[in-house]
Amino acid sequence: MKLWIAKQRYLADFTLASLARRKTKNLGLLLVFSLLVFVLASVMLFTSALRHEATQVLASSPEVILQRMVAGRHDLIPPGYIERIGRIRGVQKTAGRLWGYYYDPVVKANYTFLGLTEDAPASGRIKVGNGLARYRGVQAGNVLSFRSYSGKLFSFTVDAVLPADSELISADLVLLAEADFRAFFDYPAAHWTDITLSVANPQEVRTVAQKLANALPDSRPILRDEVLRTYQSIFDWREGIVLALLSAAILAFAILAWDKASGLSAEEKREIGILKAIGWETGDVIRMKLWEGLLISLTAFLAGYIAAYVHVFHFSAALFEPVLKGWAVLYPRFTLAPVIDGLQIATLFFFTVLPYAVAVLVPIWRASVTDPDAVMRA
């Protein structure tokens, strides 16, 4: 055992010396490889964290949202609907929601206005999302004016700016009292944008949805799971778009890394011949070169992954922000909660480190099984 350890130490020493001797090639390889891992890991970490965030946010949202449809388009909920829903067995709580979009020509962006019936700001006061506050340069206590679709000018005092933690979904949000909402949009009294429902038993959500569809045939129930699935799809789609856009670059990097790894220089072949001639076994040579490949690929993997982690969780994925983040015109600025998925790391490892190890090993094996007498003729 002691002998084996001593032998491995010598191999490791020689491997490190070999790496140092071919500094330029190995540093180049390390850089390209790290960059490849960085790009892939950044996209994976970011979308995974976004999915996680969306799941967390939606966890507290209502199980079912009911919208009325007219000619296939979303229409207002007329009076009486809430009462009819309340009588359906299994529905625990119902509430009408008021929301709408407002285009702000000042920043050329759409805001989402939400009229609250509970915990609402006082009349004439609003709470705004962090993105909106940033773009309009307002803070608590400032006055914001909006010209409504009817042409009337409304001024609101900013009560508070919503916490930055929720910016992923509240960047463009304006919260105001029900009466202010109705006045601003000339919204008909007792009408709602949609209805939210709480279902006591999560197993019964689909049954309740079915009952709703039967009782109110002009309405469509939207389940929380479906919303979640939509978000997941959006992030999947965005991730796919980014990967598709980057695929050419990723492929180029991969080919370059493969080429560098799999090509043995004349000098390396000569060295293998010398080592074999002076008494190294084929296994020793392969082990040494495998150490070399693993050292490069593992270092690159770690460097790339750590850089991606810092990029995503400390710099809010600045490089992919425009494509991956948010679904409003106002890009949210927020720090994601770090989420690391073991399976994801394993997948990335499997598709980066292993191909590299194979790329290194094949030519080494081919060179090291040749007769050592070739070195005599060099």
Partner 1 sequence: MIELTDIHKAFNEGQPNEYWALRGIDLNIAAGQVTALSGPSGSGKTTLLTLLGCLSRPTRGRVRLKAQDVSGLPERFLTDIRRQTFGFVFQQFNLIRGLSALDNVMLPAYPLGLPHRELRDKAEAQLAALDLGHRRDARVEWLSGGEQQRVAIARALINSPEVVIADEPTANLDTALSKQFMTILERLLDEGRTVLLTSHDPLVVESAVVATVVRLRDGKLVEAQMLFQPAIIALLLASLLSAWRCLPPQPLSPRN
Of 85 and 288, the one with the shorter C-beta distance to partner 1 is 288
d(CA 311, CA 307): 6
The answer to whether the beta carbons of residues 54 and 231 sit under 8 Å apart is: yes
Using CB under 8 A as the binding rule, whether residue 289 contacts partner 1 is answered as no
Using CB under 8 A as the binding rule, whether residue 365 contacts partner 1 is answered as no
Kindly tell me which residue out of 57, 89, 271, 346 binds partner 1, with binding defined by CB under 8 A.
271
Kindly tell me which residue out of 225, 284, 321, 341 binds partner 1, with binding defined by CB under 8 A.
284
Of 273 and 293, the one with the shorter C-beta distance to partner 1 is 273
Choices 26-34, 118-126, 333-341, 367-375; region in contact with partner 1 by CB under 8 A:
367-375
> CA distances (Å), 253 to each of 24, 33, 113, 312, 317, in order?
17, 7, 46, 21, 21
Kindly tell me which residue out of 122, 267, 318, 346 binds partner 1, with binding defined by CB under 8 A.
267
Phi and psi torsions of 187, nearest 5°: -80, 130
Using CB under 8 A as the binding rule, whether residue 249 contacts partner 1 is answered as no
**Could you tell me the sign of the dihedral formed by the alpha carbons of 227, 121, 191, 79, in that order?**
positive
The answer to whether the beta carbons of residues 127 and 158 sit under 8 Å apart is: yes
Of 6 and 255, the one with the shorter C-beta distance to partner 1 is 6
**Could you tell me the sign of the dihedral formed by the alpha carbons of 237, 242, 248, 254, in that order?**
negative
Helix (H) or strand (E) holding 18: helix 2-21
Using CB under 8 A as the binding rule, whether residue 4 contacts partner 1 is answered as yes
**Number of shown-chain residues binding partner 1 (CB under 8 A):** 35
Phi and psi torsions of 323, nearest 5°: -95, -40
Q: CB of 130: closest distance to partner 1 in angstroms? A: 56
Site for partner 1 in 18-47 (CB under 8 A): 20-21
Using CB under 8 A as the binding rule, whether residue 270 contacts partner 1 is answered as yes
Of 2 and 87, the one with the shorter C-beta distance to partner 1 is 2
Q: Collapsing DSSP states into helix, strand and coil, what is residue 41?
A: helix
Phi-psi category of residue 247: left, alpha or beta, with phi > 0 → left and psi -120 to 50 → alpha? alpha
Kindly tell me which residue out of 222, 277, 329, 339 binds partner 1, with binding defined by CB under 8 A.
277
Interface with partner 1 (CB under 8 A): 2-7, 9-11, 14, 17, 20-21, 267, 270-271, 273-282, 284, 369, 371-373, 375-378
